[in-house]
């Protein structure tokens, strides 16, 4: 279904303006959302790197004091070969993620005992996305979330690292 330009315009505004999604969802390691020579923090004219745009991979490290357990890494929000964003999420799933922080991929359960690289230490709830500002995004309207979703459907797929890396998307 084609959505009107106004929907994509609102989606682009929310993703690239107030949502600041690419600051966290650029492909890591490191914050590489800008092209070499295009980093505004260096006083250079801003140039977004299309090869890392919303591809995920920025590493936010471990949770807790002292830090332990899994590294929290942003996800690939680009569409895959299904044409649906975030590697095949329906709008219903996407809305639930943005409202409740549910991690449908269960990449890091809560550690049952001593933390290792596969789990997050209690009291962090491993069923929920960490670092991701869903407690804030849950205040957006359905219309806002739909606009973000349609914008994310319209951007190019980024393949990311090879499977089974969770950042990998099958583009074709
Ligand atoms: C402060 C950093 C940050 C910002 C800003 C941010 N995210 Fe995230 N997001 C993350 C991290 C980190 C994860 C993975 C968390 C985890 O593994 O616990 C994530 C996960 C997600 C997921 C789950 C993906 C999946 O495969 O289930 C979606 C969807 C998502 N973000 C969408 C967005 C959108 C849309 C925006 C902008 C409106 C956004 N994020 C802004 C850090 C961020």
More confident: 31 or 12: 12
Cβ neighbours for 168, distance < 8 A, ≥ 6 positions apart: 76, 159, 160, 161, 162
Least confident of 5-9, 66-70, 95-99: 5-9
Looking at the predicted structure, is the pLDDT value of residue 27 above 90? Answer: no
Assess whether pLDDT exceeds 90 at residue 76. yes
Cα(49) to centroid(ligand 1), Å: 19
Per-residue model confidence as pLDDT tens digits over 81-116: 999 999 899 999 999 999 999 999 999 999 999 999
**Both structure tokens of 96:** 């639930």
Structure tokens of 45? 């004219």
Confidence of residue 47 (pLDDT cuts 50, 70, 90): very high
Ligand 1 atom closest to the CA of 148, numbered from 1? 35
Residue scoring higher pLDDT (76 or 3): 76
Binding pocket residue ranges, ligand 1, CB within 6 Å = 15, 19-21, 23-25, 60, 72, 74-75, 77, 86-87, 94, 97, 103-105, 107, 129-133, 137, 148
Q: In this structure, is the dihedral angle defined by the CA atoms of residues 68, 57, 137 and 98, taken in order, positive or negative?
A: negative
Q: What are 125-149's pLDDT values in tens digits? A: 999 999 999 999 999 999 999 999 9
Instruction: Please state the rounded mean pLDDT for residues 151-156.
Output: 97
Would you tell me how many other CB atoms lie within 10 Å of the CB of residue 46?
Answer: 11
Residue nearest to atom 37 of ligand 1 (CA): 21
Task: Name the closest-CA residue to atom 16, ligand 1.
Answer: 129
pLDDT, averaged across the chain: 95
Distance 74 CA to ligand 1 centre (A): 6
Whether the CA torsion 34, 38, 43, 46 is positive or negative: it is negative
pLDDT of res. 77:
98
pLDDT at 90: 98
Copy the structure tokens of residue 162. 């090879």
């Amino acid at each position: 279904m084609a959505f009107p330009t106004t929907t994509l315009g609102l989606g682009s505004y929310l993703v690239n303006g107030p949502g600041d999604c690419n600051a966290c969802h650029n492909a890591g390691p490191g914050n590489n959302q800008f092209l070499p020579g295009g980093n505004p923090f260096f006083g250079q004219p801003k140039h977004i790197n299309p090869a890392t745009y919303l591809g995920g991979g920025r590493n936010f490290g471990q949770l807790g004091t002292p830090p332990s357990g899994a590294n929290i890494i942003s996800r690939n929000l680009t569409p895959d070969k299904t044409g649906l964003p975030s590697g095949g999420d329906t709008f219903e799933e996407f809305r639930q993620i943005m409202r409740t922080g549910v991690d449908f991929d269960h990449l890091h359960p809560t550690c049952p005992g001593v933390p290792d690289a596969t789990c997050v230490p209690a009291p962090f709830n491993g069923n929920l996305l960490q670092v991701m500002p869903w407690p804030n995004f849950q205040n957006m309207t359905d219309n806002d979330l739909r606009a973000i979703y349609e914008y994310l459907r319209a951007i190019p797929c980024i393949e990311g690292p090879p499977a089974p890396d969770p950042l990998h998307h099958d583009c074709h």
